[in-house]
């Protein structure tokens, strides 16, 4: 295809030759010097089309390309969803880092997502979280009841499916409800900031990342430690969410805005406390005497025999 041949930005090594072949390419560099290193990276569909436009290449190829881009594929093909997986490793790491370090005044969506919401991060973070919670829950139950003769440990695989349902429902239904709510308020009050559905899904997905190490640390059977972890994780991810959505509701009625933010944080709290309560048995104090008694009995039995 001639269109593919014209796209010489694809190869790392060929950039020099393509710049030499297309003297028009220098105009791109002047207009966007900061963007060029990014463009030199992996070739992406939308970037290619913009470059072609600026290059002023063969008109027929350009229109053909633009027409191809505008034609949206039906939603049951892979091509429809390909734009949502258009991320590199460093971008995913950047977004994860952004969700871990909430800086007041810095909007997660504005700073990291920048009109390129991806589904890779939310999907795999939720999957990892499901496995982390299920595995740590089983492990912590095993460790708590270790040494008890009356307790027979059975790995509960049920918990994986329950965890999966809860977390994926939270990661998709709550953004959907929030998006619908923001849309409704936008029709009443003109807001400067409005988020698309996928951007909200993205924020929620990446904000769940902090719970992965938290779930692993929840294995420690100390109530105080667990609750401190809950507070910390809730603080970080709750503040990321609050700071993301505050600009979106700021222009609204004061009470509605506050109620929205409080609801977001409350639902987040419900998720974390619910996971802690359901998947992790409480390390009750009456377990300790039984573990102390049992070794004594075995020692006495050994002595008497």
Residue 100 CA to its chain's centroid (Å): 11
Interaction of residue 147 with another protein, rule CB under 8 A: no
HSE at residue 233, side-chain half, CA atoms within 13 A, is 27
Interaction of residue 278 with another protein, rule CB under 8 A: no
Q: Give 216 or 267: the residue with its C-beta nearer to another protein.
A: 216
Interaction of residue 84 with another protein, rule CB under 8 A: yes
State the DSSP code for 119.
Answer: S
Contact flags string 40-59 toward another protein, x per CB under 8 A: -xxxxx--------------
Interaction of residue 213 with another protein, rule CB under 8 A: no
CB of 42 to another protein, least distance (A): 5
Residue of 27, 53, 81, 284 that binds another protein (CB under 8 A): 81
* Phi/psi of residue 33, nearest 5 degrees: -65, -35
- Tally the residues of the chain: 305
Q: Give 79 or 148: the residue with its C-beta nearer to another protein.
A: 79
Element (H, E) at 296: helix 287-304
HSE at residue 159, side-chain half, CA atoms within 13 A, is 22
Interaction of residue 88 with another protein, rule CB under 8 A: yes
Residues 123-142 that bind another protein (CB under 8 A): 124, 127, 131
Residue of 92, 100, 164, 217 that binds another protein (CB under 8 A): 92
Interaction of residue 153 with another protein, rule CB under 8 A: no
How far apart, in whole angstroms, are the C-alpha atoms of residue 178 and residue 184? 10
CA distances from 140 to 125, 190, 233, 296 (A): 22, 50, 19, 24
How far apart, in whole angstroms, are the C-alpha atoms of residue 247 and residue 186? 12
Which residues are near another protein by CB under 8 A? Answer: 10, 12, 41-45, 78, 81-82, 84-85, 87-90, 92, 120, 124, 127, 131
């Amino acid at each position: 295809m001639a269109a593919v041949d014209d796209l010489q930005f694809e190869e790392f090594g060929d950039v020099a030759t393509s710049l030499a072949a297309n003297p028009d390419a220098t105009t791109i560099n002047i207009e966007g010097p900061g963007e060029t290193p990014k463009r030199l990276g992996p070739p992406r569909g939308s970037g290619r089309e913009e470059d072609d436009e600026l290059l002023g290449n063969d008109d027929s190829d350009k229109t053909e390309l633009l027409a191809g881009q505008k034609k949206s594929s039906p939603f049951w093909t892979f091509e429809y969803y390909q734009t949502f997986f258009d991320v590199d490793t460093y971008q995913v790491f950047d977004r994860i880092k952004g969700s871990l370090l909430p800086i007041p005044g810095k909007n997660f969506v504005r700073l990291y997502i920048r009109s390129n919401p991806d589904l890779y991060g939310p999907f795999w973070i939720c999957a990892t979280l499901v496995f982390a919670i299920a595995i740590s829950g089983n492990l912590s139950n095993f460790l708590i009841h270790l040494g008890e003769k009356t307790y027979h440990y059975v790995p509960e695989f049920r918990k994986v499916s329950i965890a999966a349902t809860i977390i994926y429902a939270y990661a998709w239904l709550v953004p959907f409800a929030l998006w619908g709510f923001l849309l409704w308020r936008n029709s009443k009050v003109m807001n400067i900031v409005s988020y698309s559905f996928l951007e909200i899904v993205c924020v929620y997905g990446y904000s769940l990342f902090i719970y992965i190490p938290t779930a692993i640390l929840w294995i420690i059977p100390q109530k105080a430690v667990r609750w401190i972890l809950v507070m910390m994780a809730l603080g970080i991810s709750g503040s990321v969410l609050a700071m993301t959505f505050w600009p979106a509701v700021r222009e609204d009625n004061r009470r509605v805005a506050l109620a929205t933010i409080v609801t977001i944080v409350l639902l987040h709290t419900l998720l974390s406390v619910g996971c802690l309560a359901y998947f992790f048995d409480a390390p009750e104090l009456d377990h300790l005497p039984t573990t102390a008694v049992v070794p004594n009995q075995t020692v006495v039995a050994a002595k008497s025999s």
